Amino acid sequence: SDDLPKQKFDYQSDVTRLRKIVINSLYSHRDVFLRELISNANDALEKLRLTSLTDKEVLEGAEQLNITIKAFPDENGVGHIVITDTGIGMTPEELASNLGTLAKSGTSEFLAKAENSDGTGTGNLIGAFGVGFYSSFLVADRVYVASRAAKSAKNPNPIQYVFSSSAEESSFGIYPDPRGNNLGRGTEITLVLKPDALEYLSTSRLTELIQKHSSFSSTFPIYLFTQKSVEVPDEDGEKAADEKIEESPTRSPEVDNDKDEEKDEDEAIVEEDIEDKKEEEPSVPKTKTVDVDEWVQLNSQPPIWTRDPKTVTDEEYEQFYQATFKDNNKPLAWYHFSGDSGSGASFRAIIYVPSVLAESYWQSGPQGDAKDVRLMVKRVFITNDLGEDSLPKWASWVKAVVDAEDLPLNVSREMLQSNKFLKQLKSIITKRLVQALTRIQAEEPEKFNEISAIYNNVFKLGAVEDTKNRDKLATLVRFATNHRNSTSLDNYLENKKQGQKQIFYLADMGKSPEILAKSVFIEKLHARGYEVLLLSEPLDEIFVQNIKNWKKVPFQDVAKAGLKFGDEDPDEEKAELQALTEKFRPLLDWLKKEAGELVREVVVSNRLVTSSCAIVADVHGYTANVEKLLNSNANQKKGFIYEYTKKMKLLEINSRSPLIEGLLRQVERLPTEEEERDLDAEDELHEVASVLIDGALIRSGFEVPDSNEFFTRVDRILRRSLGVSETAPTDTRVKPAPPVDPELPTEDELDEDDVHVDIPQQNQNQVRWEVEEVDEEGNTIKTVTGHDEL
Ligand SMILES: Nc1ncnc2c1ncn2[C@@H]1O[C@H](COP(=O)(O)OP(=O)(O)OP(=O)(O)O)[C@@H](O)[C@H]1O
């Protein structure tokens, strides 16, 4: 087999591009190479262990499952780092395809983005994409990957091959390893260091890097080869120098230091019992200094989720998170717990709240597709794909490790799918997450504010979608009000006024709370000192409509009929309203005629202070916000009910407004007798009414039926107030366009200074929503569902 020819292959062009980007732009992030290679080694070991559950044969060739790292200069002073794992290994075909091509989706976009960037922010791109194996070329001029695949029925006698490539070449070589099958099983990566990367020969530097970035990323032991000088008794003369003094409390592998020496496969790693080696000779005074080789395990602690939370530092939690989930950012919060699923499976878990919500979160569909719940059984990684049992959309950003004790270990993926524990996992994690968030809210208000800044909308979505956790999630939601930047619903109720039996809210998506605070609908509430929730997100309206009430206190849209302060004297109020209605009767009737189809009724308002009038949705009508929600969904069929409900509006007038008083006087002055009619005066009043009503629509957030007509009227009124002739025509002559010319403009003709504004791709921040209309008895008369953009 040793005679097989050395073959040369060209890298796939994407690989060449990626390598170039990595080498050019990541110079100041060179450290990542070690983390990436250890992570690959760990993946290979995990694959092997998983395969071995059903196929013991793969374990043959090398007994231990571990990662070893050795750094040394050769006789010419050239630095070498050798990273070896006893994982699944690669066949020559796999060496070529895994290391010579990029199979990842989104690669081209990534490359284009990275090529365009000036290098800054590349660190983040790397985090998102993972440059993996190619990061070797940051520190190495040449890389050899020797690998022997695990034994299998298909491949009963795997041959060890070498992949060899320099940083510059656009091709790589694949050939049988001249040393034979000396690895037993797995992969050995040899980096021939660049002259400026010799810092990585230092064991203390390597130890620091591995401890910082990688000691958590593997449950397999990671050993670093170290050499140190120690004083040993000089009694046995020469013999002492050959002995290994083992200080590591763990079992250490003994790996042959001479790379080129042929070894028996099974001897690659030999266990030694450290107890036997310790020698105590207190009576010997003579000592001498010898160099001692030692394999030091850098991750000798048990995995952190198995430890007592009291013994784990914040830093360890953070580093474990960063290594496991490949996130450069620190997590915002975490929750470490153990439990019993009830079906007999006991488990330990850590849940993390990331400090960033992925951009794709609101863009991906209504189904959560979380791939960051890592399920292990007795520390063996099993899957991160929970399939149909994955977390609900609202919680799909959670990152978690769950280690179950009592599940049968030889679970195949299919068996696992039908396992009861897996079905329970979803509710266990969401329940514990809610628990953790609730605790943070109560005990760490500042931390909760940080979480709220990112996840507030997520909590609203949760309350809408996860009825089981609805109440707890709604407790976490924060709203702006006319009184403060942020309040919870509980806090709102604590501050309600005597007699207040409604939670007042005003919703108008896209408008800031500052603008909403000036809305016509809250004039009186605000002036009287009542607190009103100011809702500006599309999800808010959906949230309120789904929750319906909080602690039995119903939500009241202040843009709708039915607003009650709660301190009114019903008799007194009724009498007052009757008197006012009587007084304004002529105006109310006249306005009703003028408004026509637009409103169902014209009434005297109890919510206005300074504004003259407003359009209010009837109890079953649509507010401007709901109309917007409905209209934002282009596919929504708008049938009869929509048209009907749209008309359920009231025009409310402010009886104390001088404008309304004046209008009343004018209307009363209109002669009723047919022959005495003053058509000019009627026309003028007609115009006033129309501007008033359209103005009320706009002020109330609705659209006017015909804005052109509205502004023409405004124009006429302005002319009148300026004493300009109403009929004087505007000079409407314009220069006509030149004749048709299909010739395209030349480069020179195009103005280079033109500012181009990139319009971002249609934002598909969609969320499913549902709006229910209920009658007085609470029966649903209509449910509208749709998707909506955030
Ligand atoms: N030590 C190894 N043992 C076995 N296979 C490996 C090893 N290192 C790399 N591979 C194979 O080569 C492939 C490419 O590795 P690479 O590091 O470029 O990307 P990746 O590991 O798939 O993803 P990432 O970019 O997140 O690291 C891996 O998917 C794996 O199949």
CA distances for 337 relative to 398, 404, 435, angstroms: 15, 12, 11
Structure tokens, 529: 């000192």
Tokens in use for 466?
């996860």
Q: Which residue, judged by its Cα, is nearest atom 20 of ligand 1? A: 132
Single-letter amino acid, residue 679: L
The closest alpha carbon to 642, from 624, 621, 628, 625, belongs to 621
Contact 621, 649 (CB under 8 A): yes
Angle at 256 between CA 250 and CA 261, to 5 degrees: 165
For residue 676, the 8-state DSSP code is G
- Specify the residue for token string 């060890």: 160
Residue 54 has which token pair?
A: 């059903």
pLDDT for 319-365, tens place per residue? 889 888 888 899 999 999 998 877 667 899 999 999 999 878 887 76
Ligand 1 atom, smallest distance to 189 CA: 1
Residues with CB under 6 A from ligand 1: 36, 39-41, 44, 85, 87-90, 98-99, 130, 132-133, 187
| CA–CA dist 790, 766 (Å, integer) | 6
Contact between 656 and 584 (Cβ < 8 Å): no
> From CA 173, how far away is CA 737, in angstroms rounded?
67
Closest CA to 551 of 489, 487, 478: 489
CB contact at 8 A, 117 and 8 = no
Q: CA-CA distance, 96 to 776, in Å (whole number)?
A: 71
**Rounded Cα distance, 697 and 520, in Å:** 11
CA of residue 21 to ligand 1 center, whole Å: 18
The Cα–Cα gap between 476 and 489 comes to: 9
Distance (Å, whole) CA 193 – CA 71:
10
Closest CA to 354 of 399, 415, 418, 324: 399
Nearest C-alpha to atom 8 of ligand 1 is from which residue?
40
Residue 370 structure tokens:
């979380």
Ligand 1 center from residue 509 Cα (angstroms): 46
Atom of ligand 1 nearest to the CA of 131: 25
Around Cβ 631, how many Cβ atoms within 10 Å?
13
Burial of residue 765, with CB atoms counted within 10 A of its CB: 0-12 exposed, 13-18 middle, 19 or more buried: middle
Ligand 1, atom nearest to 83 Cα: 1
| Residue located via tokens 């430890």 | 307
In the chain, which stretches have pLDDT less than 50? 1-2, 127, 240-279, 759-766, 788-790
**What is the pLDDT at residue 197?**
95
Residues whose CB falls within 8 Å of the CB of residue 480, separated by 6 or more in sequence, listed in order: 486, 487, 513, 533, 534, 536
Q: Which two tokens stand for residue 156?
A: 């009963």
Helix locations, 342-419, DSSP H: 413-417
- CA of 318 from ligand 1 middle (Å) equals 24
Per residue in 661-676, is it b (16+ CB within 10 Å) or e — as a string? bebbeebeeeeeeeee
Residue-level pLDDT at 506: 95
**CB-based contact 145:85 (threshold 8 Å):** no
With a CB cutoff of 8 Å and minimum separation 6, the contacts of 360 are none
Pocket test for ligand 1, best of 18, 40, 187 (most atoms within 8 A of CB): 40
Which DSSP string do the residues of 228-279 spell out, in sequence order?
EEEEEE-TTTTHHHH------SS------S-TTS---GGGSS----HHHH--
Distance CA 219, CA 303 (A): 6
Q: Which residue CA neighbors atom 1 of ligand 1 most closely?
A: 41
Give the span between the Cα atoms of 512 and 492, in whole angstroms: 20
CA atoms within 13 A on the CB side of 778: 4
DSSP for 590-648, please give it. Answer: HHHHHHGGG-SEEEE-SS-SSSSEEEEE-TTS--HHHHHHHHH-TT----HHHHHHHT-
**H or E element in which residue 34 lies:** helix 32-54
Q: Give the three-class secondary structure for 216.
A: coil
Say if pTM beats, i.e. exceeds, 0.95. no
If one residue of 11, 32, 35, 43 were mutated to test the ligand 1 pocket, choosing by the most ligand atoms within 8 A of its CB, it would be 43
* CA 269 to ligand 1 centroid distance, Å: 24
- Quick one: which atom of ligand 1 is closest to the CA of 85? 1
Q: Which pLDDT score is estimated for 788?
A: 47
What residue type is assigned to position 427 of the chain?
S
Is residue 373 within 8 A of residue 402, CB to CB? The reply is yes
Task: Please say whether the beta carbons of 437 and 488 come within 8 A.
Answer: no
- The residues, any chain, with a CB within 8 Å of residue 56's CB and separated by 6 or more, are none
pLDDT digits 0-9 by tens, 359-413: 788 877 666 666 789 888 777 777 787 777 788 899 999 999 998 887 665 555 5
**Residues 252, 246: Cα–Cα separation, whole Å:** 8
b/e code 387-396 from CB counts within 10 Å (16+ = b): eebbbbbbbb
CB 349 within 8 A of CB 402: yes
| Token code pair at residue 467 | 């009825």
- The pLDDT of residue 519: 93
CA-wise closest residue to 648 among 616, 621, 615: 621
Give the H or E element holding residue 532.
none
The number of beta carbons lying within 10 Å of the beta carbon of residue 78 is 15
Please name which of 552, 542, 620 lies closest in space to residue 780, comparing C-alpha atoms.
620
Residue nearest to atom 31 of ligand 1 (CA): 98
Nearest CA to ligand 1 atom 22: 132
Distance CA 174, CA 259 (A): 19
CA end-to-end distance (rounded Å), the chain: 62
- Rounded to 5 degrees, φ, ψ at 129 are -105, -40
- Residue 746 CB neighbours (<10 A): 7
CA distance linking residue 422 with residue 393, whole number of Å: 17
Atom of ligand 1 nearest to the CA of 36: 27
